[in-house]
Structure 1
Amino acid sequence: MNNTSGRLADRRRRIESLRRGERSAGENIVVVGMDIAGSWQRSREAVSETCSAAPLDDTAPDWTGSAYGQALVACVDELETVAIESGMVAAVSDADGRLLWTGCSRSMRNRAERVHFVPGGRWDERSVGTNALALALRHRRPASVFSAEHFMPAVQDWVCYAAPVRDTISGEVMGVVDLSTTWNRHSPLALHAVERFAERVSQALQGVSQAPVLRLRMLGTPQASMHGKLLALSPRQMEILCLLALHPEGMDLERLHAAIYGDRTVGVATLKTEVSQLRERLGGAIGSRPYRLLVNWQADFMDLEQALNAGRVEAALAGYRGDFLPRTESPLLRTWRDCLESRLSDAIFRIDDPDLLLTHLGQSPEAVDAVERLVELLPGDHPVRARLLQTRDSER
């Protein structure tokens, strides 16, 4: 046995010792790190010890027509070649951890099929426990998982490397690129390779013609950009864009006026002027009769709503950057904001993962609902709980 093989075998034995409970919780963190140790704890609560393969999702829609799908199609041939030549299996997932595509060497094909590491397989943490793809999604950064660090015994002979694919403009994680092989073929270079491929997919995504032309960032500080350039718009024009995004079928003048002004005595001529100026700044991208957006667009508040609709609470919290149009006087937009905030708060109070809540609180320190839920979840002697109670009481 050469030095490298010996080191890998020794590393595996130490991890297996942890899994058998022969070491303390503190030693877990020293040997495998915080990310793996935390994932083990969450996995024990979510995944059956008898789990031997990922659940399959046969209802997934065709992904090849989306902008992300087109970017993948442009890149997967090269990724498959690397997998075949290196004795690995390659995979690309969506933002939920569902595999969209796989490419496999002969030596890994049967292994991959047995554990459902195939298109439609769900490799999020709640489905199969600790694995590199799930960690890359959760922490939004590259990850590797070696041998018995995997929670599911059926893949503890594997080593896996994964990196998130980001939309270069919005920063949204679209999915993950993964390369896996047997544990005794571990190489640090594989993580660098998977990072490069993830970056390549991100670049291809940026070049896809169906990428949104107009982007609306209305959570926190309102911003709108066209072709990547910020637009200088009035608060009223921001409201018009939000209303047209919420009503892609279009709005006539009377309905748009009521949605913005409600019972306030503002003439329709004022609204016509605002729309005319907005149309000019968008290069004619607003249609008339009815008013509607004529370009591909993407809006963070709509992404948040869709994540909540799909039960993707982690994605919803990751995309939340503050209140939706906090200063708007539009009765329709204020009602929509109140409903969105109520749904988000309900979702927060159903979360059982303190780490997820702490991450959200780090991004949104004013999130009172997250504080209240953490106070409910954390043990009475937890130091963070005491600080949260002090902060909560001082703000009352």
Structure 2
Amino acid sequence: MRQESLEAALPMGADPHRHARFLARVHDAAVAGERPPARPRPVIDASWRRMLSQGIDPERGCCGNPLPPEELGERRRGSALAEVLPLLRGKLAGVAEQTANIMVVTDADGRVLWREGSTAVRRDADSLGFVEGMSWCEESVGTNAIGTALVTRLPVQVYSAEHYVRSHHTWTCASAPMHDPRSGELLGAVDLSGPAATVSPTTLALVQTVAQLAESQLHAVHAADLERLRAAAAPMLSRVGGRAVVTDQQGWVAASAGVVPMNRVALPDGCAPGRAWLPALGDCAVEPVQGGWLVRPLGEDSVAEARARVLLDLRSARQACLEVVSPSGRWSHPLSPRHAELLFLLANHPDGRTAAQLASDVFGDPGRTVTVRAEMSRLRRHLGGLLSRRPYRFSGNVEVDVLRPADPDSLLPHSTAPAVRGC
């Protein structure tokens, strides 16, 4: 008999109390290893399987302690989300107060940095340990909107017994991840949480929109900084002459001369003045300038001659990363979910893949080559010396190792690509 599959946290027109009772039956059967009356939503099902494989206790989660005040303060000061906190407060804190919810902002580790909203709900949250400084990642408290959004890198709403830990079944929460446009790095998540009775299908859309506004504000700040560097770079490049690139501290290109246009250069970790091999440019001289770096390629054939080892690190469910190890040092480049998928597939096919083959691998549709070519073009702008095309593959002068998570279910958990899910 075909098993019914749930499609939404709260289906349209469903009675919240009745649906919560039904979810509790689904949850009880799933954690007991029995056949549930319906399959949970795919995002919840995948999360529950992660919790079961990690041995998370559905009665209490894992024990943990909040950060000491001094470490919490340090994380707040060091978070790029502090720049957009006024925006998040302005858009969500008042809504949280009016709807008997709380607004929560976490870092990429799931640590609660800020929490505001209804006093009564904050007291209830205190009893669950949902306090500033506490970790709200999946590994600590099981399936929840914050932790699951940080794993999947997608907005998530979790209602009642969709939470893995039973003490959270009286809650509903909606969360969206936020990324740093300068590095692509996952910064954390913004969340609205409250009693299950406050569930609304519009909450997730609101939280997602506010997260996008926050990312747009960070992008605007970065664009303004880059424009100031661009103004200073023009006379600098005219004095230097020859091939050169001026970048900000994160490698974003402000101006260039004599090189193929690119958006960003993958700089070494802890970039310092001197000589370095860079994936897109080969052997280079790197010099500090105010607000960034002056990068001068030293030889036309240096990319082809250089040997590099690539570590495609997929062990973290929250952030995939590409590390490059060469004679001049070690570099790292955070990967978006889509780019992590593509590089994983290329690593699995050292002889290369055509655009049609990658489209079939990722989308199950060989006709979606335009999307694949656009993504591969973005990748090659960052990692030009590491990737070849016709077909797409890692260059012959590169050794590739893939670092996988111990739990197969944690391999690119955000991915719906048929070729990834079949691994």
2:42 to 8, 22, 34: 34
Aligned match of 1:57 in 44, 67, 82? 67
User: Which secondary structure state, in structure 2, belongs to the residue aligned with residue 165 of structure 1?
Assistant: strand
**Residues 1:80 and 1:376: Cα distance change in structure 2 (over 3 Å):** closer
Whether the 8 Å contact between 2:160 and 2:168 is mirrored in structure 1 is yes
> 2: distance between equivalents of 1:70 and 1:41?
36
**Unmatched 5+ stretches in structure 1:** 216-222, 261-270, 276-285, 298-304, 345-356, 389-396
Equivalents in 2 of 1:373, 1:312: separation in Å?
5
Tell me what 2:347 maps to. 367
Query: Cα distance 1:239–1:113, how it changes in 2: closer, same or farther (>3 A)?
Result: closer
What is aligned with 1:203?
A: 216
Seen in structure 2, the aligned counterparts of structure 1 residues 231 and 148 have a Cα distance that, compared at 3 Å, is farther
- Partner residue of 2:374? none
- Report what 1:352 is aligned to: none
Whether 2:99 is the aligned partner of 1:86: answer yes
Asked whether the 8 Å contact 1:64–1:73 carries over to 2, the reply is no
Q: CA 1:370–1:123 in 2, change beyond 3 Å: closer, same or farther? A: farther
Task: Provide the residue aligned with 2:288 in structure 1.
Answer: 292
SS at match of 2:29: coil
SS at match of 1:75: helix
**Conserved? CA contact 2:65–2:134, under 8 Å:** yes
Once the 2 structures are TM-superposed, how far is the Cα of residue 101 of structure 1 from its aligned partner? 0.5
Task: Look up the match of 2:237.
Answer: none
- Equivalent residues of 1:161, 1:194 under 8 A apart: yes
**Is this contact kept in 2: 1:15–1:31, CA < 8 A?**
no
Of 6, 17, 23 in structure 2, the residue corresponding to residue 15 of structure 1 is 23
Which stretches in structure 2 are left out of the alignment for 5+ residues? Answer: 1-10, 231-244, 278-282, 294-309, 349-399, 410-417
Against the structure 1 CA distance between its residues 16 and 363, is the aligned structure 2 distance closer, same or farther, given a 3 Å change threshold? farther
Question: Relative to total residues, which structure has the larger strand share, 1 or 2?
Answer: 2
Pick aligned residue for 1:242 from 267, 292, 297: 267
How far is the alpha carbon of 1:106 from its aligned partner? 2.4
For the structure 1 residues 55 and 24, does the alpha-carbon distance in structure 2 shift closer, same or farther, using more than 3 Å as the test? Answer: closer
CA distance in structure 2 between the partners assigned to 1:4 and 1:54 by the alignment: 37
CA shift at 1:188, angstroms?
A: 0.5
Give secondary structure in 1 for the equivalent of 2:77.
coil
Residues 205/22 of structure 1: CA separation in 2 closer, same or farther (3 Å cut): closer
Q: Does 1:178 align with 2:186?
A: no
Q: Normalising by the residue count of structure 2, what TM-score does the alignment of the two structures yield?
A: 0.58
**Matching of residues 143-292 of structure 1 within 5 Å:** 143-168=156-181, 170-208=183-221, 213=226, 231=256, 234=259, 242=267, 246-248=270-272, 250-251=273-274, 256=275, 291-292=287-288
Asked if residue 45 in structure 1 is aligned to residue 53 in structure 2, the reply is: yes
**CA–CA separation in structure 2 for the residues paired with 1:170 and 1:240:** 11
The residue aligned with 2:122 is: 109
Structure 2 CA distance for partners of 1:66 and 1:134, relative to 1, 3 Å: closer
Q: Is the 8 A contact 1:88 1:179 kept in 2?
A: yes
Distance 2:126 2:264 in 1: 50
Query: Aligned letter for 1:57?
Result: L
Tell me by how many angstroms 1:331 deviates. Answer: 3.1
Which amino acid letter does the alignment assign opposite residue 190 of structure 1? T
Report the Cα offset of residue 211 of structure 1: 8.4
Contact 2:180–2:186 (8 Å) recurs in 1:
yes
Percent identity over paired residues: 25
* Counterpart AA for 1:242: L
**Maintained 8 Å contact 2:91/2:210:** no
Q: CA deviation at 1:96?
A: 1.3
Structure 1 pair 210–384 and aligned structure 2 pair: CA distance change class (3 A): closer
Amino acid in structure 1 at the alignment position of 2:27:
R
The 2-side partners of 1:189 and 1:372 are apart by 39
Residue deviations 1:48-98 (CA, integer Å, cap 9, x gap): 344267642323424235433222244324422221111101101111111
- In the TM superposition, what whole-angstrom CA distance separates every residue of 1:281-316 from its partner, at most 9, and x where no partner exists? xxxxx7xxxx4243158xxxxxxx9x98xx983344
Q: Superposition RMSD on alpha carbons, in Å?
A: 4.8
Q: Cα gap change, 1:43/1:106 in structure 2, threshold over 3 Å: closer, same or farther?
A: same
CA-to-aligned-CA distance 1:237-278 (integer Å, 9 cap, x gap): 9999836x6443x34xxxx3xx66xxxxxxxxxx9xx86xxx
**Aligned partners of 1:240, 1:9: CA distance in 2, in Å?**
53
Map 1:317-396 → 2, pairs under 5 A? 317=320, 319-320=321-322, 324=324, 331-333=327-329, 336=330, 363-367=343-347
Task: Give the TM-score normalised by structure 1.
Answer: 0.61
Deviates more, 1:204-213 or 1:9-18: 204-213
- 8 Å contact kept, 2:75–2:113: no
Q: Letter of the aligned partner of 2:152 in structure 1? A: H
2:175, 2:190 within 8 Å by CA — same for their partners in 1?
A: yes
**Residues matched between the structures, number:** 305
